[in-house]
Amino acid sequence: MMQAMVLEQPGKPLVLKTVPLPAPSDGQVLVKIIACGVCRTDLHIVDGELSKPKLPLIIGHEIVGKVIKKGRTVTKLRKGDVVGIPWLGYTCGKCKYCRNERENLCENALFTGYTIDGGYAEYTVAHEKYCFPIVEQYANASGSPLLCAGLIGYRSYTMIGDHVTNLGIYGFGAAAHILIQLAIFQGKRIFAFTREGDVNAQAFSRKLGATWAGDSSQEPPQRLDAAIIFAPVGNLVPKALLDLDKGGVVVCGGIHMSDIPSFPYSILWEERVIRSVANLTRKDGEQFLKIAPRVPIKTETQTFPLRQANEALLALRSGKVQGAAVLVMAPQL
């Protein structure tokens, strides 16, 4: 048996329960969880804003843990390996998206902590092919935010194009605090936009090297070559277009966003682009986790014990988390 925080019904708090230990099927491993990050997507699931959760459900898709048992046909992983388990839990390998390197759009994908059980628990099972190896420096709570905030931030960043010097980031939470380190490492100038008057987040972004930080309603001192929106706020799309230079891209990095208001065509004209980012491919994960220790990316985490998952979600909701919130099950294994 194991302890888990279970979502029984959207709109209700998670419930601490003792549930049976999952058994690894063919190709799966049983993982003892060290830590699991708390992502904004978890809030969208708990709030019922994403429509297809498995219920009851163990949420959480930024898992760092140690392999303790292998199912049959597991070939790559060994007992004792530390792995990261991300949002993308399974793809079919057969649909048209899988066949042309867009497995993030797979018709039959399963998602950790959404359509299959995830990491707000002491143990979980995962398909070995979707686990990432985790280097020693990240084999603890600090590695968890890399697995979604880091990865989705990285995928968004790969969509901004090749000619970007000035990069705007709208919403300075877990994803932004990781991405800024990589972007500055690669010579970008960062303009950080936060909710109105969030001077703490603005100071945090400056500490991490932002060229400029301000409220999302403010005009940046220079035109932006690209913008990434992490905040789930549709109003930011036309605002980012206004801040953008010709030919620039606005990348929406979240899984859910409030409605985008209508706007004049003139702010989109001159080949400005709006696009979204969905999920991740394993290639994104491999590339990002290879670069992260080279930067080296350091995550700032606020940790909570498993049983305080509701408190962690509340802290995230109210903007009280600097960096990333992480549930810690077993700090050392």
Which stretches of the chain bind Zn ion, using CB under 5 A? Answer: 39, 41, 91-92, 95, 98, 106, 148
- At position 20, the amino acid (one-letter code) is P
Minimal distance, residue 262 CB to Zn ion, in Å: 29
Minimum distance, C-beta of residue 267 to Zn ion, in the bound complex (Å):
30
Interatomic CA distance for residues 74 and 28, integer angstroms: 7
Work out how close the CB of 56 gets to Zn ion at its nearest, in angstroms, rounded to a whole number.
Answer: 20
- Give min distance, CB of 147 to Zn ion, in A: 8
CB of 247 to Zn ion, least distance (A): 30
Q: Which is nearer to Zn ion, 24 or 254 (CB)?
A: 254
Q: Which residue has the tokens 């302890």?
A: 3
Cβ atoms of residues 47 and 71 within 8 Å = no
Q: How many CB atoms lie within 10 A of CB 133?
A: 12
Q: What is the smallest separation between the CB atom of 91 and Zn ion, expressed in angstroms?
A: 5
Cβ proximity to Zn ion: between 41 and 205 the closer is 41
Q: Are strands 82-85 and 132-133 parallel, antiparallel or unpaired?
A: antiparallel
Strands (DSSP E) found in the chain? 2-6, 15-19, 28-38, 63-70, 82-85, 88-90, 110-111, 123-127, 132-133, 166-170, 189-194, 212-215, 224-229, 244-252, 273-276, 301-305, 324-328
Pairing of strands 224-229, 244-252: parallel
| Closest CB to Zn ion among residues 41, 166 | 41
For Zn ion, the closer CB: 177 or 239: 177
| Closest approach of Zn ion to the CB of residue 98, in Å | 3
Nearer to Zn ion, 39 or 116 (CB): 39
- For the bound state, the minimum distance from the C-beta of residue 286 to Zn ion, rounded and expressed in Å, comes to 18
C-beta of 148 vs 167, nearer to Zn ion: 148
8 A C-beta contact, residue 193 and residue 218: yes
* 224 vs 306, beta carbon nearer Zn ion: 306
DSSP for 256-277, written as a single string? --PPPPP--GGGTTTT-EEEE-
Distances in Å between the alpha carbon of 324 and those of 37, 83, 226, 321?
7, 19, 24, 6
Question: In 10 A of CB 186, how many CB atoms?
Answer: 12
Residue 52 or 72 having the CB closest to Zn ion? 52
Give the strand pairing for 110-111 and 88-90. antiparallel
Cβ at position 95, least distance to Zn ion in Å: 3
Backbone angles phi, psi at 20, to 5 degrees: -65, 145
In DSSP terms, 30 is beta-bridged to 69, 125
The residue (of 30 and 39) whose beta carbon lies closer to Zn ion is: 39
CA 98 to chain centre: 21
